[in-house]
Structure 1
Amino acid sequence: METRKERFDRLQLAFKLVMHHDTEQSFSDLIEPNRDTFHGFKLVYSTNHLESVFANTSLKDIEDECPTLKKYFYGSGLLFFSDELYDRTWNEGHVRLLIDYSLSLDSNAAERFRIWEDGKDLDKSEQDFENLVRFIKEGSGSGFNFDYSFFIIENYYDSMKSENHRPFNTIRALKRFDNLVYEKESFSIKNPVFNEIRALAGQRTIDTLYTFHSNPEIERFQQRRMLLYIVLLKAVLINQNKTASIESKLGELIEFCILDLEKFPKTELYFAWKLMRYGNSLRFFDPVSQIGKNTKGKLRGMSWDIFALRYQETMASKSYEGDFFIPFFASFDNKFVELTQACPIRAVLIDEVGENVITIQLDELEFQTELTNSVSSKMLVELNDSTKKLARMKKPLAEDKLIAIGNKLEVQLELLANKKTITKDN
């Protein structure tokens, strides 16, 4: 009987096999010699050597047809592994694969539905918005699934404020969109017709918000987003040392995560590494290239943008009616789109029994190499200890602790911003 630690060690080995697998080699070259290692796990693997079809079009063409929509995985096609699927494919030659897919909306995309439903002008984004509407309504013949749970998570606290009507009005518009009268040939983006009145959509919105507000999982999402914000904030502070090497900066950040946060948040560290290593060439990070009085607010917004990708990782690890779940995301923010293209996802490795998910980036090997080169031998032993890894992963995030650490870092940021302002004035 395999122990929890043994299963986790095997998952780590599977992760390393994917990370080191040459993208030019076949999927079977990865799986076939390593069936024992991948046993009991599920793998979604992205490649440029085939085209997968979703919503009656290829995965490759979706972004061209609908510029606001971005696929989660980097390649033109997807390959899937599970024990049952692989064995059936081997025996039958071809199997029908059950796949769930859904389109999530960030706030700027969701709020365009509110503006549109309210009869206001979308200006220059009208054509892109129309493409998005048509894609949702025509995908797979009967429509492309979409959800706005991420918008509710991002606007969780604002939606509780009685004086802030924006989240409610946005969700109500999305509810009415469920009942848009749509005919491909006659539909006009300027004159939408809904077969549900606002009052009924409003009641459904109240029910939805009540469900979200009473769901403890939403609080956990808030904590995970706060963890991401703290890691980014610490990275920005560390990055002010212009003479330190990337290894030195990354090593300091890793020690902070292990010693202060008692976590090794791989995904969060990956984006912090992107900031430190490639921040000068990515427009997304421009707002925090120089510290000023607005840096904190910009970092908070940035953390929500990146959390949109983190949320898709969560979605990709789920399976509802299908065997696999493939997320897509819609955004009108060009800088965010550029970030997604600079952080391509190669694979998602899922252990449903052990409740572990590992996202593997296309540049994972470069990232992991720099991580290894950045820490002391003592810290490396700490990071590679499977028992300690499992303990860190299972330890819940303490909200009070996150708030205290976040407040301390924000004070440091404010002091640094004030110092820079005084220096500039002089």
Structure 2
Amino acid sequence: METRKERFDRLQLAFNLVAHHDTELSFSDLIEPNRDTFHGFKLVYSTNHLEGDFANTSLKAIEDEYPTLKKYFYGSGLLFFSDELYDRTWKEKHVKLSIDYSLSLDSNAAERFRIWEDGKDLDKSEQDFENLVRFIKEGPDSGFNFDYSFFIIENYYDSMKPENHRPFNTIRALKRFDNLVYEKESFCVKNPIFNETRSLAGQRTIDTLYAFHSSPEIKGFQKRRMLLYVVLLKAVILNQNKTASIESKLGELIEFCILDLEKFPKTELYFAWKLMKYGKSLRFFDPVSQIGKKTKGKLRGMSWDIFALRYQETMASKSYEGDFFIPFFASFDNRFVELTKACPIRAVLIDEVGENVITIQLDEIEFQTELTNSMSSEMLAELNNSTKKLARMNKPLTEDKLIAVGNKLEVQLEEYC
């Protein structure tokens, strides 16, 4: 019987196999020699070299036709692995996959639904908005799973303020959109017809907000976003040392995570590394290139934009018996689009039994190499000890601790102002 530690070690080995697999080699070259390693795991693998004899789905055509939609994975198509699927594919050659597509909205996309439902003019974004509506209603296999939970998560605290009606009105508009009268040939974006009154949609909105406000999972998302903010905040402060190397700044950031947060947040560190190494060439990071009195607010907004990518990781790891979940994201923000292109996702490795999900970036080897080079031998030993890894993963990081560390860092940031 495999212990939890042994399974976790095997998951780490599977991660390394994917990260080091040459993108020019086939999916079979990755899986076939390593079936024992991948046993019991699921893998969603992105590629630009689709193989005709394996289960796949196309992504590029969707993104090309609908510019507001951003695919989570880097390649033109996807390949999938699970024990049952792989065995059936070799026997039957062609297997029909059960795939669930998910479309999430960022706040600027969600609020266009509020403006539209209220009868206001969408100006220059009207054509893109119409394309988005048509995609949701017509998408692959007669419509897309339409998810606006990210908007509610991002506006979690604002939606609790009695004087702030914007989140409520936006969600009500999205609820009414569920009941849009839609015919492909006759639909007119300037004159939408809904099968539900505002008052009924409003009642459903109250029920939804109540469920979200009382959900421990949603509180967990708030903590994960706060963790991302804190790590980015530390990275911005470290970046003020213009003479230090990326290596030394990254090493200091890792020590901060291990010693102050008692966590090794790999994905959060990845985005902080992007900021420290490539911040000058990525327009997304322009708002924090110079520190000022507005830097804190800009960083908070930026952390929500990046968390939109983190949230898609959660969506990609959702699966039911034999199914795979493929996330898309709708945004009208060009800077966010640039970020998604600069942080390409190669694969998602899922261990449902161990409740672990690992995202593997296209530039994972570059990132991992620089992580390793930045650490002392003592820190490397600490991080490579799988018993300690599991202990860190199981130790909760409280909201109070994150707030305390964040407040301390904000004081440091103000000193630079």
| Fold shared per TM-score above 0.5 | yes
Shift in Å, 1:51: 8.7
Q: Deviations over 1:36-95 (max 9, x none)?
A: 111111000000012999999941111111111001000011000011111111122222
Q: For residues 411 and 190 of structure 1, do their structure 2 counterparts lie closer, same or farther at Cα, with a shift above 3 Å needed? A: same
Unaligned residue ranges in structure 1 (runs of 5+): 415-426
Q: CA, structure 1 residues 20+141, in 2 after alignment: closer, same or farther (shift >3 Å)?
A: closer
1:165 paired residue number: 165
Question: For the Cα contact (< 8 Å) 1:109–1:332, is it kept in 2?
Answer: yes
In the TM superposition, what whole-angstrom CA distance separates every residue of 1:120-175 from its partner, at most 9, and x where no partner exists?
Answer: 11111111111101111111352111110000000001111110000000000000
- Which residue number corresponds to residue 195 of structure 1? 195
Contact 1:69 1:328 in 2 (8 A): yes
Q: CA deviation at 1:303?
A: 0.2
Distance, in Å, in 2 between the alignment partners of 1:124 and 1:57 is: 32
For 2:211 and 2:142, locate their aligned partners in 1 and report how far apart those are by CA, in whole Å. Answer: 27
Deviations for 1:301-338, whole angstroms, at most 9, x for unmatched residues?
00000000000111111114751111100001000000
Q: Distance in 1 between matches of 2:407 and 2:214?
A: 27
For residue 405 of structure 1, report the CA deviation from its aligned partner. 0.3
Change (3 A) 1:215 1:344: same
TM-superposed CA distance for 1:204, in Å, is 0.5
Report if the CA contact (8 A) 1:56-1:141 is conserved. Answer: no
Q: How many residues align?
A: 414
CA distance in 1, matches of 2:352, 2:171: 32
- Please list the CA deviations of residues 19-42 of structure 1 after superposition, one character each: whole Å capped at 9, or x if unmatched: 000000000000000011111110
Quote the Cα distance in structure 2 between the aligned partners of 1:116 and 1:98.
34
Whether the 8 Å contact between 1:288 and 1:298 is mirrored in structure 2 is yes
Indicate conservation of the 8 Å contact 2:41/2:82, yes or no. Answer: yes
The equivalent of 1:49 in structure 2 is 49
Q: Distance in 1 between matches of 2:167 and 2:35?
A: 48
**CA spacing shift, 1:52–1:403, aligned 2, 3 Å:** farther
The answer to whether the 8 Å contact 1:100/1:320 transfers is no
Task: Indicate if the aligned counterparts of 1:153 and 1:218 stay in contact, CA closer than 8 A.
Answer: yes
- After superposition, the C-alpha distances for 1:382-423 in whole angstroms (9 at most, x for unaligned) are 010000111111111111111100000001111xxxxxxxxx
Which piece of structure 1 moves more, 55-64 or 240-249?
55-64
User: Secondary structure of 1:280's partner?
Assistant: coil
Task: Tell me, in whole angstroms, the C-alpha distance in 2 between the residues paired with 1:36 and 1:53.
Answer: 22
* Residues 397/109 of structure 1: CA separation in 2 closer, same or farther (3 Å cut): same
- Structure 2 equivalent of residue 363 of structure 1: 363
- Counterpart secondary structure, 1:413: helix
Query: Which residue number corresponds to residue 131 of structure 1?
Result: 131
Paired residues of 1:54 and 1:140 also in contact (CA < 8 A): no
> Which residues of structure 2 form unaligned runs of 5+?
none
Deviation per CA, 1:348-401: give whole Å up to 9, x if none: 000111111100000000000000000001100001000011111111111111
Contact map agreement 1:275 1:285 (CA 8 A) in 2? yes
Q: 2:279 matched to which residue of 1? A: 279
The superposition leaves residues 243-271 of structure 1 with CA deviations (integer Å, 9 ceiling, x where unpaired) of: 11010010000000000000000000000
Please give the secondary structure, in 2, of the residue aligned with 1:174. Answer: helix
RMSD between aligned residues:
1.8
- Look up the SS of the partner of 2:280 in the other structure: helix
Contact in 1 for aligned 2:57/2:79 (Cα 8 Å): no
CA distance in 2 between partners of 1:47 and 1:56 (Å): 10
- Range with greater deviation from structure 2 (348-357 or 319-328): 319-328
Distance between the aligned counterparts of 2:197 and 2:54, measured in 1? 32
Contact 2:114 2:169 in 1 (8 A): yes
Find the aligned partners of 1:266 and 1:131 in 2 and give their Cα distance.
36
Q: For the structure 1 residues 334 and 322, does the alpha-carbon distance in structure 2 shift closer, same or farther, using more than 3 Å as the test?
A: farther
TM-score, normalisation: structure 2: 0.97
Secondary structure of 1:141's partner?
Answer: helix
Does the Cα contact within 8 Å between 2:343 and 2:361 map onto a contact in 1? yes
